[in-house]
Each structure stands twice: as structure tokens, then as C-alpha cells.
Amino acid sequence: MEHCKEYRTNLALRPDGDTAELSQHAATCPECAKAAKRAAAFDTVVQSAVMPMVPDDLTARLLALVPGLAQPMVRSKRWLRQRRAFFAISALLSVIGVAVLIYGLYILGSYVGVSEIWHTQ
Amino acid sequence: MAEPTPELIQRAQRGDPESLGALIVGQQQYIYSIAMSVLRQPEDAADLTQEACMKLLRVIGQYNGESRFTTWLYRLVVNLGRDELRRRGRRVPEMPPMSDDDGEVIDPLQSLADDDRWADPAAVATNTELQGEIRQALDSLEDHYRLALTLYYFEDLRYNDIAEILDVPLNTVKSYIRRGKERLATILASSESEKIQPPRTVAKSDVPVSQPRLARFAWALGRR
Ligand SMILES: [Zn+2]
């Protein structure tokens, strides 16, 4: 087909030069349609590989360079994990504490005869 | 959109801490990606990103709007990366001139045509095996191709921005993109065929198996 070469050539670069005629070409040409899918798959994987995740602590390191910026705006994921663990353990200890307190009051109450007073009423 | 607004740039140039912080947060992904492309090690790339931001804070007042801000900034990062390589006594990547008008490369991904894993754009995003292979292939890709492709995938940059960042002619940039993709696909295809076939016994010369395929690039590789 006459458009194959031009279409494939444009696939590799950004479609600056794509005309409507050319973009419709893939609809009628299975080989070029395959090539277009392959190019899209390739671009997806390569793009994520050349733009790796910024390390956890880097943002805080960079913001610390800015004079006069209130610190710290950004917490590392590790800090967030630690904080979550701290809250979880605090909550658990509170529940245990309250339970022990109630049980203690109950025992105390039975010694001083509060329950008898309640019963006589 | 990676390009910051003119208002943000102006506030940052006046030294407003919040604006400088916003500028850095908005650019860190791009600076880090360039740093990774040049230095290849996460710790080194993080250090270079930090160094680039320190320099940005020092020289932001000198930005005069002649280029786009991102073009100006990424050029600064690329040059810092080159300085760092020199400081370590490592080879600074050459930017060999290339023209794009020879029409030799038609479909740079032809070598992947037989590999079904590349047939579905939706499936590759979750294919971790493929992602690992790409990272390895990028490591063995020539530096100028890797850097050009990195900037190309920022998407926001036009070809003449990339040309300005790398300090090469526009035609050379287009050629780097096309040939870089072709080269990357060739590396991927050859690593895949090595996995399927048992490794061949070492030939008399110590030439890697993939060498004949690279004959076209010999002139570029021969300077190493
Ligand atoms: Zn076609």
C-alpha cells in the first residue's frame, strides 16, 4: 500500500506530520494496525522505565534546601507507617486500660458492699 | 503539564519560599529521570537531583524567558550530570551528529514483531517481566540514545526543546529518537532470543553474539 512506509515512519516519532488520510490508513491495513499497537505498547513500557519513581525521602531533602520554607511539608512513607503503628498500639492499650479499670472498679465495689446497697434499694 | 506558569516562576525568582517549593516538587520527577538516565544509579541520581535543585535556587534569577523554563532547567541538569561524569573520570556521552533523511529506518520496532507480548498495549502496563527487561536494555543502550528517549517521553517537550537541551541539531534529535528506539528494540529482541536458545559456545574471537546486527552502528560504537 502506498501509505505504509509513511505511516510506519511516523509511528516512531510524535505524529506531528499525521494527516487525516494517514491516520485512517491503519483502519484499512492490518499490518500497520499491528505495528501501531506494537508502537503503543513499546511507548508505554519505555516511558515508565525512563521516568522511575522518585525515592521516598528525596522530596523532603529537596524542600529542606529552600530557605524559609516551613518544615516539614512532606513526610516520608516510613514516617507515615510508624505513625500509623503508633496510633494502632495506642488504641489497643487504651482499650485494655479501660477494661482493666472497669474490672477494678467492679472488684472494689464488691468489697465495699456497693452492690449490696444497690440490691437493698 | 510540566512547564510552570510564568506567575509561579516570577514569584520563585523573587525568592518566595512556597513558590520555590512548588517549583521543585513539580520538577523533581523530571530532574530525577534525567539524572537516572545519565548516572544509572538511584543514589547517584538522588544526589544529582539535590545538586541541581541547589543550583536552581542559586541561578533562578538568571532565567530570562528566552527558552521555556523547563528547557532551561533540563539543560542545566544535563550539564551538571556531564560535569559529574567528568569529576568521576568517566566518559562523557558524545552526541554524534546524525541525519534523519536517509529513510533507512522504516519501522524501528520490526525486531519485536514476532514477540506476542508487544501485541497488546493494555497488557504491557502490568507486565513486570517486560518492565524488567526494558530496564536492563536501557542500561546497555548508548548514552545519547537513552538521554534523547528520556526527554522524548517527557511528552511536554518539543523536538527543538530537546535539541536545545542536548545542544544538537533538530535532525539529529529525530534521528536519535528513531534509531534509539530501533536499537532498544534490537537489544530487547536479542535478550529474548538468548533466553529461548541456549547460549552459544564462545567463538574464537570474543565478539558478542549480537555484534553483526550492530554493524551499522560500528562507526558510532567504535570510538569507545
Ligand atoms: Zn499499511
> Domain containing A37: what range?
2-51
Beta strands in chain B (DSSP E): none
Say whether B138 and A50 touch across the interface (CB within 8 A).
yes
The amino acid occupying position B1 is M
Alpha carbon distances (Å) from A30 to A1, A10, A74, B154, B186? 11, 17, 50, 30, 23
Does residue B201 surpass a pLDDT of 50? no
For the segment B138-159, what is each residue's pLDDT rounded down to a tens digit? 999 999 999 999 999 998 899 9
Stretch B62-85: mean pLDDT = 96
The secondary structure of B89-139 as a DSSP string is: TPPPPP-----STT---S-TTGGGTT-GGGS-HHHHTT-HHHHHHHHHHHH
For the segment B3-13, what is each residue's pLDDT rounded down to a tens digit? 999 999 999 99
A-chain residue closest to B109, CA distance = A39
| Rounded distance between C-alpha atoms, residue B36 and residue B39, angstroms | 5
Instruction: Assess if residue A121 is contained within a domain.
Output: yes
CATH 3.50.50.60 fits B6-87, yes or no: no
Picking from A2, A11, A45 by the largest number of B CB atoms within 10 A of its own CB, the best residue to mutate is A45
Q: How many helices (H) and strands (E) does chain B have?
A: 10, 0
| Rounded distance between C-alpha atoms, residue B205 and residue B210, angstroms | 13
Residues A45, A6, single domain; the answer is yes
Tell me if residue B197 falls in helix, strand or coil: coil
Nearest to A112 by CA among A104, A101, A99: A104
Stretch B90-110: mean pLDDT = 75
Ligand 1 centroid to residue A19 C-alpha, Å: 14
User: Closest Cα of chain A to B67: distance in Å?
Assistant: 21
Range of lowest pLDDT (A25-29, A56-60, B64-68, B191-195): B191-195
User: Closest Cα of chain B to A46: distance in Å?
Assistant: 7
Peptide bond into A72 cis (omega under 30): yes
**Ranges of each domain in chain B:** 6-87, 110-196
Report which of residues A93 and B36 the model is more confident about. B36
Indicate if B110-196 has the same CATH topology as B6-87: no
What is the per-residue pLDDT for B60? 98
What is the CB neighbour count within 10 angstroms for residue A3?
Answer: 17
**Number of structural domains in chain A:** 2
Does residue B211 surpass a pLDDT of 60? no
Does residue B102 surpass a pLDDT of 70? no
What is the per-residue pLDDT for B216? 40
For the segment B65-75, what is each residue's pLDDT rounded down to a tens digit? 999 999 999 99
Q: Which set of grid coordinates corresponds to residue B150?
A: 528520556
Of A12, A38, A51, the CB nearest to B153: A51
What is the per-residue pLDDT for A26? 86
Ligand 1 centroid to residue B216 C-alpha, Å: 26
Instruction: Assess if residue A93 is contained within a domain.
Output: yes
Does residue B174 surpass a pLDDT of 80? yes
- What torsion do the CA atoms of A11, A15, A20, A23 make, to the nearest 10 degrees? 20
Distance of CA B212 to the CA centre of its chain: 25
Of B32, B146, B150, the CB nearest to A54: B32
Of A5, A39, A59, the CB nearest to B109: A39
Instruction: Assess if residue A107 is contained within a domain.
Output: yes
Instruction: Assess if residue A61 is contained within a domain.
Output: no
B-chain residue closest to A6, CA distance = B106
Q: pLDDT band for position A90 (50/70/90)?
A: confident
| Rounded distance between C-alpha atoms, residue A114 and residue A119, angstroms | 9
Instruction: Assess if residue A97 is contained within a domain.
Output: yes
User: Closest Cα of chain B to A85: distance in Å?
Assistant: 28
A66 contact partners, CB below 8 Å, separation of at least 6? B17, B20, B21, B24, B57
Instruction: Assess if residue A116 is contained within a domain.
Output: yes
Mean pLDDT for chain B overall: 85
Does residue A116 surpass a pLDDT of 60? no
What is the CB neighbour count within 10 angstroms for residue B152?
Answer: 23
Residues A84, A120, single domain; the answer is yes
| CATH architecture of the domain with residue range B110-196 | Orthogonal Bundle (1.10)
A12 contact partners, CB below 8 Å, separation of at least 6? A39, B105, B107, B108, B109, B177, B178, B181, B182
Nearest to B3 by CA among B73, B81, B75: B73
Instruction: Assess if residue A58 is contained within a domain.
Output: no
Say whether B181 and A44 touch across the interface (CB within 8 A).
no
Half-sphere exposure of B149 (CA within 13 A, CB side): 32
How many beta-carbon pairs under 8 angstroms link A with B? Answer: 135
Q: Is B107 left (phi over 0), alpha (psi -120 to 50) or beta?
A: beta
Nearest to A17 by CA among B163, B174, B79: B174
Instruction: Assess if residue A73 is contained within a domain.
Output: no
Does residue B1 surpass a pLDDT of 70? no
Does residue A101 surpass a pLDDT of 60? yes
Nearest to B84 by CA among B50, B135, B115: B50
Does residue B116 surpass a pLDDT of 60? yes
Does residue A104 surpass a pLDDT of 60? yes
Stretch B193-210: mean pLDDT = 49
Answer for the pair B146, B162: CB distance below 8 angstroms, yes or no: no
What is the per-residue pLDDT for A19? 65
Say whether A38 and B119 touch across the interface (CB within 8 A).
yes
Does residue B43 surpass a pLDDT of 60? yes
What is the CB neighbour count within 10 angstroms for residue A32?
Answer: 22
User: Closest Cα of chain A to B205: distance in Å?
Assistant: 33
- What torsion do the CA atoms of A82, A51, B114, B191 make, to the nearest 10 degrees? -80
